[in-house]
Amino acid sequence: MPIAECAGGCPRVISLSVDPAGNPVAAAQPEHFATHYRHCPACRRFWCERCVGEALACIRCAGPLESPTPRHALDIIFGGRIPEGLLASLDLKDTEDDSKRRGGN
């Protein structure tokens, strides 16, 4: 599980999950892990939801804060170089209709 420190100085670490539901281990320990966070692309800091609240701008540099998406998490994890196969599977997942799936493979 990739993690990042919260720039707000709290003891929680931020779980960077590509699963929109979040990492279940992190979700089970909310005092130790933040699964909801904001990211500042300008200064590259991460803020947990408790430290940044509903702020739209970074507390340190005043840059605009981003809300995470699965693609955002992959971009951070792979340093901006997402492997093509992962990117393709992420794009396909967003377009699949699971209600039409019928057992099997």
φ, ψ of residue 23 in degrees (nearest 5): -75, 125
Domains of the chain: which residue ranges? 3-94
Pick the more confident residue, 76 or 10: 10
pLDDT score for 10: 93
Q: Name the pTM for this structure.
A: 0.67
Does position 66 have pLDDT exceeding 50, yes or no?
yes
